[in-house]
Amino acid sequence: MTQKSILDRFPRAQLMSGPTPLDRLDRLSSELGIDLWLKRDDLTGLGFGGNKTRQLEFYLGDAVEQGADTILITGAVQSNFVRSAAAAAAKLGMQSVLQLEERVPDMGEEYYSSGNVLLAKILGAEHMSYPEGEDEAGADAALHARADELKSEGRKPYVIHLGLNHPPLGALGYVAAGQELCRQMPDAEAVIVPSGSGATHGGVLTGMAVEENAASVFGVCVRRDREKQTARMGTVLRKLADLLDIDAVPLQDKINVLDDALSPGYGKMSGMTRAALEKMARTEGIFLDPVYSAKTFAGLLHLVSTGEIQPGQKVVMLHTGGLPALFGYQSALLDDPT
Ligand SMILES: *Cc1c(COP(=O)(O)O)cnc(C)c1O
């Protein structure tokens, strides 16, 4: 199998059009003393864009092949994945069932009504809720219970699992993105990505390794601390390598995660994260989201300040989107900075 065709045997639904832009950030580059580029996966196109469009191309490809007519998925209340899945389902003429988990404590009213929640309502998705936010097995089981009901009504449900005991189909979308980035910029020295489920981080790392690209890939923790995320990435990379039928060992050596921007936890903004979000907007006119991309940029700023990213280096930050969540975090963004 040639390197370029590594993804050919997986069914894929066309949800985005063409490569996303790779833009140089001129003002931030001079301020930080590096050569900084932004890979615009906020602009993947489908239903407010973001990284889940790429991931869904492979889940929905599988769903179409299995003859599914309904997509079921679980996530945080302001999940971009569930919103994007509902948009993808709409585009392919399917129904969707979205399960929203209580994962982020003490949020304002708009967290439950605006942003992604509003968009999913407009998309006409069925909604369920789940009282826990850290129970992947229980959340998946609740989705399967609903899927069984749908089956008994003659529907053909397809569950997108978030747990690690399923093939990481979504990561294939980021293998493609890693390859795309290598074509756009073969000489990048460092690539900074958010590391949540690990599908994005694992996919980029693998796609770039397949292209024999030597850039360091840094994963910025958005949900778990460094130790837990490093272990999780080991599993993700092993499962992805199995799926692609490639050697996992060289990939494992490239795992590099940092959690300096994680505090105070998933879906919560520290002063550091908010400052990063405002800096990008005020220096480049580009919005970041409070849950993922602002933490990623905060992580990048940290790497520059510690010298792990060195002056003059060619650096790419992946903008994974998530912008509708800005409107779910109105209160936190309007508070006086602490
Ligand atoms: C889901 C999400 C992430 C995290 O991606 P993973 O593939 O789950 O690690 C990052 N940014 C945004 C905007 C997201 O919605």
Q: 68-100: per-residue pLDDT in tens? A: 999 999 999 999 999 999 999 999 999 999 999
Give the number of the atom of ligand 1 that is nearest the alpha carbon of residue 321: 13
Write out the H or E segment, with its range, that includes residue 37. strand 35-40
What pLDDT shows up at residue 5? 76
198 lines ligand 1 (CB under 6 A): yes
81 lines ligand 1 (CB under 6 A): yes
Beta bridge partners of 101: 76, 130
133 lines ligand 1 (CB under 6 A): no
What is the whole-number distance in angstroms between the Cα of residue 265 and the centre of ligand 1? 15
Contact 130, 138 (CB under 8 A): yes
**Angle (CA) 159 163 165, round 5°:** 95
Average pLDDT taken over every residue of the chain: 95
What is the whole-number distance in angstroms between the Cα of residue 154 and the centre of ligand 1? 33
Give the number of the atom of ligand 1 that is nearest the alpha carbon of residue 201: 9
116 lines ligand 1 (CB under 6 A): no
Sequence-separated (6 or more) residues with CB below 8 Å from residue 89: 60, 70, 71, 95, 96, 123, 125
**Angle (CA) 56 62 64, round 5°:** 95
What is the whole-number distance in angstroms between the Cα of residue 151 and the centre of ligand 1? 30
pLDDT > 70 in the chain, percent: 98
Beta bridge partners of 40: 319
40 φ/ψ angles, rounded to the nearest 5 degrees: -90, 65
What pLDDT shows up at residue 338? 59
What pLDDT shows up at residue 18? 80
For range 259-266, the mean pLDDT:
95
Residue of 53, 83, 200, 228 with the most ligand 1 atoms within 8 Å of its CB, for mutation: 200
Helix (H, G, I), strand (E, B) or coil at 13: coil
Sequence-separated (6 or more) residues with CB below 8 Å from residue 82: 73, 74, 75, 98, 99, 100, 116, 120, 125
Longest dimension (CA), the chain: 61
What pLDDT shows up at residue 261? 95
What pLDDT shows up at residue 2? 46
Listed residue (238, 280, 233, 283) closest to 258, CA to CA:
233
For range 266-287, the mean pLDDT:
97
**Angle (CA) 168 82 316, round 5°:** 60
pLDDT grade for 4, boundaries at 50, 70 and 90: low
Alpha carbon of 164 to those of 29, 74, 234, 287: distances in Å? Answer: 37, 14, 11, 31
pLDDT > 90 in the chain, percent: 92
Residue of 59, 74, 80 with the most ligand 1 atoms within 8 Å of its CB, for mutation: 80
Contact 253, 292 (CB under 8 A): no
Give the number of the atom of ligand 1 that is nearest the alpha carbon of residue 292: 11
74 lines ligand 1 (CB under 6 A): no
Alpha carbon of 6 to those of 21, 234, 241, 281: distances in Å? Answer: 23, 21, 11, 37
pLDDT grade for 25, boundaries at 50, 70 and 90: very high
pLDDT grade for 299, boundaries at 50, 70 and 90: very high
Spell out the domains of the chain, with CATH numbers in brackets: 3-50+169-334 (3.40.50.1100), 68-160 (3.40.50.1100)
What pLDDT shows up at residue 163? 82
Which residue's CA is minimally distant from atom 13 of ligand 1? Answer: 322
For range 280-284, the mean pLDDT:
98
E strands, 126-282, in order: 126-130, 157-160, 190-195, 216-221, 257-258
- Which amino acid type is present at position 132? E
pLDDT digit string, tens, across residues 155-190? 999 999 988 889 999 999 999 999 999 999 999 999
Q: Sign of the C-alpha dihedral, residues 58, 62, 67, 69?
A: negative
Beta bridge partners of 257: 219
Residue 264: asked if its preceding bond is cis (omega within 30°), the reply is yes
150 φ/ψ angles, rounded to the nearest 5 degrees: -65, -40
pLDDT grade for 1, boundaries at 50, 70 and 90: very low
**Structure tokens of 15?**
């949800």
Would you say residue 265 has pLDDT above 50?
A: yes
Residue of 101, 174, 197, 218 with the most ligand 1 atoms within 8 Å of its CB, for mutation: 197
Which residue's CA is minimally distant from atom 8 of ligand 1? Answer: 197
297 lines ligand 1 (CB under 6 A): no
Active-site residues, by number, are: 79
What pLDDT shows up at residue 170? 98
